[in-house]
């Protein structure tokens, strides 16, 4: 059987990979020593020139199904890895058949949950991890995606201004529907609670955390946060005709959560005495889109919120409130953000994403200002943070050749 590669973003370099060898035998000059999560399949991270991919061995049918599902999720704007292609018809030099392979683009600055715990996360940070899973699960359900295998192992995490953002990396059990029924949502939540409980108990037993994890409390936290967020995004709200301000209040609450409301269903009775509203189309990324419109930067939503707050402080401090926001944002980029990023040594640019570095510098300024009893200059703060903290952090992106 001839080898076949189906790809939506053709990269001729993929042909150079040693497809005639089982994935577990691929040599070190191909495989990148990046942290990988637990998987029922053999997975390797490989570099091809400046590009980095994840390769997973599986059956041909499953590979094609997951490839198409990930493409659908990308079209829906869901946070998931980007599919690159499927390789079938693999065989050794001796013509022994080898499994098919799914190729996805490596998600820069992302980490499996176990690696996060190896880099300072402890039991008290677990709710932050769960909150990221909850936001991901709610977004997927709103888009009509039934996951079928919710777990920490099927997610990669990126830092987001002190919080975390979760990305789906395994969609082989997923299904797309016009809408996800309450029964399927409940099943996803139940499976997620069972899997995450087991994963956290295993993590705790391994000694990776200093203090014990209360698995039952975490499961309750997952259910409670999911139900609260789902209600906020989907519940029907009823009020009197003299309370029209509640429409704006509902939209503001959703914006504060990071969601944009693209469409509201508003119904009034014949006399206009009673009004019912329900969000019909909501999408996470309110602050991300606002920052991108002003600066061109694309970052996670909490990072965008933090940068927008600093932009607002810069505007007030320089009395620029009457100026066009795009002009002010350009000045802030030129005078504050870009000079600070230029201070980072080349060998430290892979430690954290620029927006996360800026967030940590703002946190560090608060600490320094409290300690010294004065407002510390942002550039003085940046130099101190970069020298004392950033350069000692492990890399979370691939920055050099392997």
What values do phi and psi take at 34, rounded to 5?
-100, 155
CA dihedral sign, ordered 324, 249, 139, 196: positive
The residue out of 107, 125, 156 marking a domain boundary is: 107
Asked if residue 305 and residue 253 are part of one domain, the reply reads: no
Q: Which residue has the higher pLDDT, 51 or 80?
A: 80
Asked if residue 326 and residue 362 are part of one domain, the reply reads: yes
For 234-246, give one letter per residue: b (16+ CB within 10 A) or e: eeeeebeeeeeee
Asked if residue 228 and residue 181 are part of one domain, the reply reads: yes
Domain count, the chain: 4
C-alpha closest to that of 218 among 235, 196, 250: 196
The answer as to whether 397 is a domain residue is: no
What pLDDT score was predicted for residue 36?
56
Asked if residue 182 and residue 96 are part of one domain, the reply reads: no
Asked if residue 330 and residue 257 are part of one domain, the reply reads: no
CA distance 103 to 100: 10
> 256's torsion region: left (phi>0), alpha (psi -120 to 50) or beta?
alpha
Q: What DSSP letter does each residue of 130-194 carry, written as one string?
A: HHHHHHHHHHHHHTTEE-S---GGGEEEEEETTEEEEEE---TT-EE-SS--HHHHHHHHHHHHH
How large is the average pLDDT for residues 249-256?
Answer: 89
How large is the average pLDDT for residues 40-61?
Answer: 89
Beta-carbon count within 10 A of 302 CB = 21
The residue out of 81, 107, 133 marking a domain boundary is: 107
C-alpha closest to that of 172 among 266, 63, 18: 63
Asked if residue 280 and residue 249 are part of one domain, the reply reads: yes
**In a 3-state reduction of DSSP, which class is residue 122?**
coil
What pLDDT score was predicted for residue 35?
56
Do the beta carbons of residue 360 and residue 391 sit within 8 Å?
Answer: no
Which pTM was predicted? 0.86
Assigned token pair, 238 = 């009823």
Asked if residue 223 and residue 142 are part of one domain, the reply reads: yes
How large is the average pLDDT for residues 275-284?
Answer: 86
Residue 238 CB partners (closer than 8 Å, separation 6+): 274, 275, 276
Q: Work out the pLDDT band at 351, boundaries 50, 70, 90.
A: very high
Residues of the chain with pLDDT > 70, as a percent, come to: 96
C-alpha closest to that of 64 among 89, 38, 43: 89
The answer as to whether 94 is a domain residue is: yes
Asked if residue 258 and residue 212 are part of one domain, the reply reads: no
How large is the average pLDDT for residues 72-88?
Answer: 94
How large is the average pLDDT for residues 277-295?
Answer: 90
| pLDDT exceeds 80 at position 106 | yes
The answer as to whether 379 is a domain residue is: yes
What pLDDT score was predicted for residue 38?
59
Asked if residue 323 and residue 384 are part of one domain, the reply reads: yes
| pLDDT exceeds 80 at position 158 | yes
| pLDDT exceeds 50 at position 319 | yes
E strand map for 269-356:
274-284
What pLDDT score was predicted for residue 304?
95
**In a 3-state reduction of DSSP, which class is residue 61?**
helix
Q: Which residue has the higher pLDDT, 116 or 33?
A: 116
Do the beta carbons of residue 378 and residue 336 sit within 8 Å?
Answer: yes
CA distance 87 to 93: 17
CATH number of the domain that residue 207 is part of? 1.10.510.10
**Domain of 244, in residue numbers:** 237-284
The residue out of 86, 107, 128 marking a domain boundary is: 107
Rg of the Cα atoms in the chain = 24
Q: What DSSP letter does each residue of 207-267 carry, written as one string?
A: T-SSS---HHHHHHHHHHHHHHHHHHHH--EEEETT-THHHHHHHHHHHHTTEEEEEEEEE
What pLDDT score was predicted for residue 363?
94
What pLDDT score was predicted for residue 400?
34
Residues of the chain with pLDDT > 90, as a percent, come to: 64
Place of tokens 């009893």: 373
Rounded to the nearest 10 degrees, how much is the dihedral formed by the CA atoms of 104, 107, 111, 113? -60
The answer as to whether 120 is a domain residue is: yes
Q: Work out the pLDDT band at 188, boundaries 50, 70, 90.
A: very high
The answer as to whether 48 is a domain residue is: yes
C-alpha closest to that of 198 among 168, 132, 153: 153
Q: What's the burial of 91, exposed, middle or buried (CB within 10 Å: 0-12/13-18/19+)?
A: middle
| pLDDT exceeds 70 at position 367 | yes
Asked if residue 230 and residue 119 are part of one domain, the reply reads: yes
Q: Work out the pLDDT band at 271, boundaries 50, 70, 90.
A: low
The answer as to whether 400 is a domain residue is: no
Q: Work out the pLDDT band at 39, boundaries 50, 70, 90.
A: low
Mean pLDDT, the chain, integer: 90
How large is the average pLDDT for residues 92-112?
Answer: 92
Asked if residue 169 and residue 132 are part of one domain, the reply reads: yes
The answer as to whether 251 is a domain residue is: yes
The answer as to whether 58 is a domain residue is: yes
Asked if residue 170 and residue 76 are part of one domain, the reply reads: no
What pLDDT score was predicted for residue 401?
31
For 326-358, give one letter per residue: b (16+ CB within 10 A) or e: eebbebbbeebbeebeebbeeebbbbbbbbbbb
C-alpha closest to that of 109 among 400, 398, 366: 398
| pLDDT exceeds 70 at position 334 | yes
What pLDDT score was predicted for residue 41?
81
């Amino acid at each position: 059987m001839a080898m076949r590669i189906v790809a939506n973003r053709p990269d001729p370099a993929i042909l150079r990979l040693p497809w005639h060898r089982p994935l577990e035998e691929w040599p070190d000059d191909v495989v990148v020593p990046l942290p990988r999560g637990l998987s029922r399949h053999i997975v390797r991270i490989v570099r091809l020139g400046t590009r980095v991919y994840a390769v997973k061995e599986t059956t041909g049918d499953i590979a094609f199904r997951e490839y198409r599902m990930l493409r659908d999720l990308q079209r829906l704007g869901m946070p998931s890895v980007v599919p690159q292609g499927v390789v079938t018809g693999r065989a050794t030099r001796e013509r022994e058949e080898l499994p098919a392979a799914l190729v996805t683009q490596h998600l820069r600055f992302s980490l499996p949950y176990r690696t996060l715990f190896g880099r300072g996360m402890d039991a008290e940070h677990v709710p932050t991890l769960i909150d990221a899973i909850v936001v991901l699960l709610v977004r997927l359900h709103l888009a009509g995606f039934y996951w079928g295998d919710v777990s920490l192992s099927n997610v990669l995490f990126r830092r987001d201004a002190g919080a975390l953002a979760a990305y789906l990396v395994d969609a082989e059990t997923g299904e797309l529907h016009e809408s996800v029924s309450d029964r399927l949502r409940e099943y996803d939540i139940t499976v997620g609670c069972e899997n995450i409980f087991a994963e956290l108990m295993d993590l705790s037993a391994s000694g990776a955390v200093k203090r014990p994890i209360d698995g039952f409390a975490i499961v309750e936290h997952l259910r409670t946060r999911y139900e609260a967020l789902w209600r906020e995004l989907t519940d029907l709200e009823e009020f009197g005709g003299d309370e029209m301000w509640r429409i704006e209040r509902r939209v503001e609450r959703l914006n504060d959560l990071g969601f944009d409301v693209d469409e509201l269903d508003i119904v009034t009775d014949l006399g206009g005495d009673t009004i019912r509203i329900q969000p019909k189309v909501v999408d996470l990324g309110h602050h991300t889109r606002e920052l991108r419109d002003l600066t061109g930067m694309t970052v996670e939503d909490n990072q965008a919120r933090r940068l927008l707050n600093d932009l607002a402080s810069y505007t007030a401090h320089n009395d620029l409130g009457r100026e066009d926001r795009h002009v002010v944002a350009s000045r802030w980029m030129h005078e504050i953000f870009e000079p600070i990023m230029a201070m980072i040594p080349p060998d430290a640019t892979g430690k954290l994403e620029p927006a996360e570095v800026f967030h940590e510098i703002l946190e560090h300024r608060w600490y320094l200002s409290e300690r010294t009893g004065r407002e510390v200059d942002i550039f003085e703060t940046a130099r101190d943070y970069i020298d004392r903290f950033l350069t000692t952090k492990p890399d979370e992106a691939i920055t050099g050749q392997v």
